[in-house]
Every structure is written in structure tokens, then in C-alpha cells.
Structure 1
């Protein structure tokens, strides 16, 4: 198997990476598909090579909000690398790409015998927990425009293009906001020269302008993730 471009896998020693990927299969990530639904057992973990996987929490009234997203920097299904686990959320494909799929039981067995792999997974899991804590505060305290700018930056970090296929309805669902609220926030970002939006596509015009519009949570989460990677190195 060719060398992975997943940044988390690239932190492993060659021996640990080879053992982990010995039975991995390369699978497509198709926009709109679900990897897993709430209540289902997590039988496999996915290391994205490209594309974005979103973990989405859904309420009884049909509303939803994104808890976190995973691109080539991480792994989807991290909770099942410790013990067998059912998913509390929906994992859905936000941006088309590819991933390396590995049986969750095999990951657990390898982590028991390989301290380097176990430590890498633990550090990543801790980083996700920190991000969830920051996101909870962000949703409670920050206005829609700043949260949308942060979310678009996170998408842009994980995309291979300045153009992203994102409808206002989808962005509203991911942010847990009304579509009218997201529409107004998007207009403000366009007025600031940060993005252009048309026909369900967002184009990043000025990355610095988008960063200036984002709340502090984007920089905090980025710093937390960077810190975890340096610890794992």
C-alpha cells in the first residue's frame, strides 16, 4: 500500500503504520452518504486521505448540529478504538474524498500491543474532547457570523480547493441555526470580502478576511490540535 497522506497515520513509526494498514481498504467518501447512524455499532474506523466526515448530533424535533469534523488530520470513529462502542451520533460525508477503512477490533488489538499507536490514539482522542468543550462554549456565546466564519475556515483547512459545495440549508444544519440566520451571516461575510456565495457553492476570496471574521475558537482549537501533534511526535 502506498504511503498514506493522512497526517495522523504519518505520525506513527513505519512498523506501527504498516501493521495498522496491513488489512486496510481504500474506500470512497461520497457526498451525503452516512458512514454510521445513531445507535449502530462502530465496526470500523476511517482515516480520511481527502474529503471531510462530519459527526452530527440530532434532536427529537429534527434539528441538528455538527459536533466536529474530521479530514486528513484525523480519524472518524475514535471512540471505538478503546472499547466496542455504539455511535451516539451520525457520521456523514460533508466533502467527497477517500479514506482508509480499518476494522475497529483490529485497531484495539494492535493498540494493546503497540505503545506508540496507543499513545497517538489517546492524544488524538484528548484533542477531540478539548474541541468538543470549546465548541459547546462557542455555540452558547458567539454570534452566527463568527461561528460561520470559523466553520468555513475549518472546512477550507480540510479541502483541496477554495470552492466548497455547501448549501445554506446544510450550513444551517451544521451550525444548529435557522437558515435565515445563516443567510444573513453569509451576506455579512460577503460584504467583508471574505467569501462569495452562489448556487450552493462557497468560494473563499480572502483567507485573512475570513480569519478576521472568525471567533477566537478557531485559533484555540487549531492551537490545541497543533499541541497534540507536537506531543505525539
Structure 2
């Protein structure tokens, strides 16, 4: 099921005091498809809370290959653990779908977190959920077939896109999945024949989520509860 478009779930789940503190110092930031927020080894000076759109955290290999480590939508933020301690990023953060965010200086987040136990709980809960997702993703990439991983990826993107059409090329998908374009094309053709999606001119439309969920690996269900868990945190 797609997330309703009403702003960042993590911010919405904060106490009134914590939420007001963040909103008071946050600045709106709209981003385009393909916008690069940070590169590997960049010092994280800004934390972005995603209100709309999708950001991918992409791991880059020395041989030029890449694979998506995780994606962030309205359920979270980008900026790693910089809300706790000064930190550098290990991935490239790039916009997979244009959208809106609110950005806060990392040092301001550290100051607010130092004063608020409830804020620390929510932020740490998201970090822990992200760590579980990374562990699941590592096993997924090693064990599951490309078509199952592709189906999972489409479902997760569709959730965060609020059901919108996904704009992406086969080359982009190959980079996200750490695969070859020909293999991605074969998987896409299989899903189209089964009536799960249409894929034409860089636009993916999900026609039947039930078929797509049946095709996806178990990892989709295993990591799906991240947003719900955050929104119910009791500080």
C-alpha cells in the first residue's frame, strides 16, 4: 500500500515540542530527479527529512559498478548518524524521484537530540530499522534472483511514490540492482507478460500489486514495517 502524502512520517511521530523545535530551524528544499545530495566521504553537514519523493543510498565500487544499499522516502531522513556525532557518509545519496524535503544543520540536530530523550529514541529507532534493512539487503543480494529483487525494489519504490508512475531507465535500474541491463530487461519483460507492470520510455506503471508481491522475495515483507514502527514510537 502506498504511503499517504502528508509529510515526513518520522517528524509527524515526534512529540509536539520536538516537532516544533525541528520545524523552527528547518528549511524547505525541493529536489529534482538525479539530484546528488552527498558523495562518499563527504562530511554530513545537513540532515534531510524527506516529505515527498525518493532518495537512494548507492554504494559505489572501485571498478565503477554500483548497487542501491537502501532507499529513503517519507518514512525517514538522509544523513546517517550525524544527528548523534559528526560523521561522513559512505554512500552517494541521489534522488530517484523528484520531491520535497526539510533540511536541518547536523550540528543543530545534535544539540536538539542532546536535550531531548524522546527525539533520541525516534532517531535511534530509525537508525536501527535501517541497519536491519541493510542486513536483510545483504542477504537478499547474495541469495535471491534478479526478478525477485526487481519485484521487491518496484514495490518499495511504489510505496514511497504514493502510487505514482515511476520514471527510470533500464540503465538506472541496473545500477540500483547491481546487475546488467539485459538481465533487468528480461525480468521486466516477464513481469509485463504476467500483467504486473508496464515499462515504456523510461516509465514504469504498476498494474497489479498482487502479482508483483507474489513475485517479490520475502525481504519486501521483512522490511516493510519500518515506517509503521517509527510512527508508533512512544518517547
Aligned partners of 1:21 and 1:118: how far apart in 2?
16
Residue 191 of structure 2 is aligned to residue 189 of structure 1:
yes
Pick closer, same or farther for the CA change 1:48–1:223 going to 2, 3 Å. closer
Aligned partners of 2:13 and 2:229: how far apart in 1?
13
Aligned partners of 2:13 and 2:190: how far apart in 1?
39
Aligned partners of 1:59 and 1:18: how far apart in 2?
40
Residue 83 of structure 2 is aligned to residue 81 of structure 1:
yes
Aligned-partner SS, 2:124: helix
Count of residue pairs the alignment pairs up = 230
CA RMSD after TM alignment: 1.3
Q: 5+ residue gaps in structure 1?
A: none
Matches within 5 A, 1:35-114: 35-114=37-116
| Counterpart position of 1:165 | 167
Contact 2:10–2:230 (8 Å) recurs in 1:
no
Aligned partners of 1:55 and 1:126: how far apart in 2?
16
| Counterpart position of 1:174 | 176
Q: Post-superposition, which runs of at least 4 consecutive aligned residues in structure 1 deviate over 6 A?
A: none
TM-score by length of structure 2 reads 0.94
Contact 2:33–2:96 (8 Å) recurs in 1:
yes
TM-score by length of structure 1 reads 0.95
Contact 2:13–2:230 (8 Å) recurs in 1:
no
Contact 2:126–2:226 (8 Å) recurs in 1:
no
Aligned partners of 2:104 and 2:17: how far apart in 1?
16
Residue 135 of structure 2 is aligned to residue 142 of structure 1:
no
